[in-house]
Amino acid sequence: MTIYDRSAEHRLEVVIVTGLSGSGKSTAIRVLEDLGYYCIDNLPVALMPRFLELCAVSREGLSRVALGVDIRAREFLTAFPDVLESLRSAGHWVRLVFLDASDDVLVRRFSETRRPHPLGQTGGPLSGIRREREELAALRGRADRIFDTSALTVHQLRDELRRFYDSSPDHSGMSLLMISFGFKFGVPSDVDMVFDVRFLANPYFAEDLRAKTGQDEAVSSFVLKGEEARGYVRLVTELLRFTLPLHRAEGRSYLTVAVGCTDGRHRSVAVAERLASEISGEGCRVQVQHRDILR
């Protein structure tokens, strides 16, 4: 008979990963495992409290646990909200991560893997996706962080998860993510600040620049050569330098800034790159992501 030392019990850091089928939950669990979390995928919801009790008194010194749960568990939708509250009431540091993606992207992923959607046995993948999205809507609203993986590669999703959940010394302090995007494809979800640069000169109308992107020196020079562009970058940089310490003082560990133009290929890319360059070295880690550059 195993006897647990209750005096050794401690509170755990728990990340619960859920979301739509095909949105990348398995990838997220693998990344968290690489980051040192003890991971269990598809653990029955009813067993979660007892499982964490055992982890808390484990002689192996477990402190970080990641649990994957989704609609495959029959009692998931009805039991999970109460279980989530009970885990938090027990004193554990619990964060609910919800992975999402657009319907068309999910349909394509199921087509590529040739796997059936768990709720699409009769009406096909799209029917199952829409039903699952409707059933998970309330849970999505309770999430602490939502990752839209529609435009993310596996490597980009890994970088995003590392940014928020890697507690190694190299990943301490404030983290700033600079995203460029195209308004025609929608504003990125879950961003803190959005800047619109559609007023800047558009390289799309320069025949020799149209096929290039804002990462090309010729395009960047074209976008940023005017006084309006330089003044805008200067003012936004000053705003970020002013606000970053305030966010840090409030306990924020990350800030996501989005820069948008029409297509997300030229102006927003050039400005995001310049802003990231200007703000580097301001006491935070800066990452740049160009969501729509290849569309």
The model's pLDDT over 170-183, given as tens digits with 9 standing for 90+, comes to 544 577 889 999 99
- The pLDDT assigned to 203 comes to 95
pTM above 0.75, yes or no: no
In the chain the domains, ranked by start, together with CATH numbers, are 10-170 (3.40.50.300), 173-290 (no CATH)
More confident residue, 267 or 88: 267
Condensed to tens digits (0 to 9), the pLDDT of residues 187-217 reads 988 799 999 999 999 999 999 999 999 999 9
What is the chain's mean pLDDT, rounded?
86
Residue 269 has pLDDT above 70, yes or no: yes
- The pLDDT assigned to 7 comes to 37
286: phi then psi, degrees, rounded to nearest 5: -115, 130
Q: What is the mean pLDDT of residues 245-271?
A: 89
Q: What is the mean pLDDT of residues 219-234?
A: 95
DSSP annotation of 287 reads E
Predicted confidence band at 5 (pLDDT cuts at 50, 70, 90)? very low
Whether residue 101 contacts residue 150, with contact meaning beta carbons closer than 8 Å, is answered with: yes
Residue 63 has pLDDT above 80, yes or no: yes
Q: What is the mean pLDDT of residues 227-244?
A: 95
CA distance 203 to 184: 17
Residue 3: is it exposed, middle or buried by C-beta count within 10 angstroms (0-12/13-18/19+)?
exposed
Q: How many CB atoms lie within 10 A of CB 132?
A: 21
Residues 6 or more apart whose Cβ sits within 8 Å of residue 19: 25, 70, 97, 98, 99, 100, 136, 140, 147
- The pLDDT assigned to 8 comes to 38
Q: How many CB atoms lie within 10 A of CB 84?
A: 18
Instruction: Flag the least confident range among 78-82, 204-208, 237-241.
Output: 78-82
> Of 93, 128, 98, which is closest to residue 110 (Cα–Cα)?
128
Terminal Cα distance for the chain, rounded: 60
Whether residue 240 contacts residue 280, with contact meaning beta carbons closer than 8 Å, is answered with: no
- Whole-angstrom CA distances from 78 to 44, 85, 117, 137, 139 are 12, 13, 21, 13, 11
Q: Which pair of structure tokens corresponds to residue 135?
A: 């059933």
> Of 228, 227, 209, which is closest to residue 269 (Cα–Cα)?
209
Residue 247: is it exposed, middle or buried by C-beta count within 10 angstroms (0-12/13-18/19+)?
middle
DSSP-based three-state secondary structure for 51: helix
164: phi then psi, degrees, rounded to nearest 5: -100, -25
DSSP-based three-state secondary structure for 17: strand
Q: How many CB atoms lie within 10 A of CB 10?
A: 14
- The pLDDT assigned to 162 comes to 83
Single-letter residue type at 30:
R
Residues 6 or more apart whose Cβ sits within 8 Å of residue 239: none
- The pLDDT assigned to 59 comes to 67
Condensed to tens digits (0 to 9), the pLDDT of residues 123-182 reads 778 888 998 899 899 889 989 899 999 988 888 888 888 888 876 545 445 778 899 999
> Greatest CA span in the chain, whole angstroms?
77
Which of the residue ranges 108-117, 231-240, 274-283 has the most confident prediction, judged by mean pLDDT? Answer: 231-240
Residue 1 has pLDDT above 60, yes or no: no
- The pLDDT assigned to 210 comes to 94
DSSP annotation of 174 reads E
